[in-house]
Amino acid sequence: MWSCRVGVAIATFLLVVLGGLATVPGWCASNFIRIPLGKGASIEVPRNWVVFSNKKLITLDAFVEAKGYKLTESSLTFAASLYDDKKKTIALINVRFYPDNPITQAEVRQVTSNDLRELDVELKKIISTSLNTMGIRMENWFGTKMQNINGLYVLVHEHQQNNFSGDDLTRVRGIRVLRSPRSFTVTISHREREAVILLPIVEYITKSLRQD
């Protein structure tokens, strides 16, 4: 069955985002910078988020300038974080490519509502099991939906999990682009109690996703 095939194919897509999250100042489009991810993909991320480069935390502006505004095609991952004044992570984005994933956009466009329901069950099971092995509990599962983002048919799912410390909740959004051989996943997490401020930013990042 198609949904089972996809479930197996994207099982390795899992990027679990851990950690707690911070407050974000007012923002608009000019506060975002488009990051080339390789393989024709790009995404916009807030300029004040930071990356870990050469054993130092630097802003995206400085990172992109240092890299000549270009990440090489061999870059398999990208990650950036937002920290609060106590140096705790309050938001995080990860990107990883999966060149061996066999699913194409043509197949994704043929997904039926039944397929999506079965896939949703499979994804919940995979993610919950992975979290449990790390001592993290899934608190809520918000389901999986198909979404068209700038011409890409993507699978978007969300869940809520506790942190290692257990004193806060994190909301995680997975955006899976199945487009063999250029499939990739974007995982965005944020501290749940900062959702009023952070959710609009998560939405903006999601809608900025592109792949030529």
Question: Which residue segments constitute the domains of the chain, with CATH numbers given?
Answer: 2-211 (3.40.1000.10)
| Mean pLDDT lowest among 39-43, 49-53, 98-102, 196-200 | 49-53
Strands 184-191 and 89-97: antiparallel
Higher pLDDT, 164 or 211: 211
C-alpha to C-alpha distance for 43 and 186, rounded to whole angstroms: 9
Q: Which residue spans within the chain are E strands per DSSP?
A: 32-38, 41-46, 50-53, 56-59, 77-83, 89-97, 138-149, 152-162, 169-177, 184-191, 210-211
**Which value, to the nearest 10 degrees, does the dihedral of the CA atoms of residues 142, 136, 190, 20 take?**
160
| Mean pLDDT lowest among 64-68, 145-149, 173-177 | 64-68
Question: Residue 53 is which amino acid?
Answer: S
3-state secondary structure (DSSP) of residue 5: helix
**Which value, to the nearest 10 degrees, does the dihedral of the CA atoms of residues 43, 183, 155, 119 take?**
-160
Residue 26 has pLDDT above 60, yes or no: no
- Write down the pLDDT at residue 13: 43
Residues comprising the chain, all counted: 212
Q: How many CA atoms lie within 13 A of 115 on its CB side?
A: 15
Q: Report percent pLDDT > 90 for the chain.
A: 59
C-alpha to C-alpha distance for 40 and 202, rounded to whole angstroms: 21
* Residue 135: alpha-carbon gap to chain centroid: 21
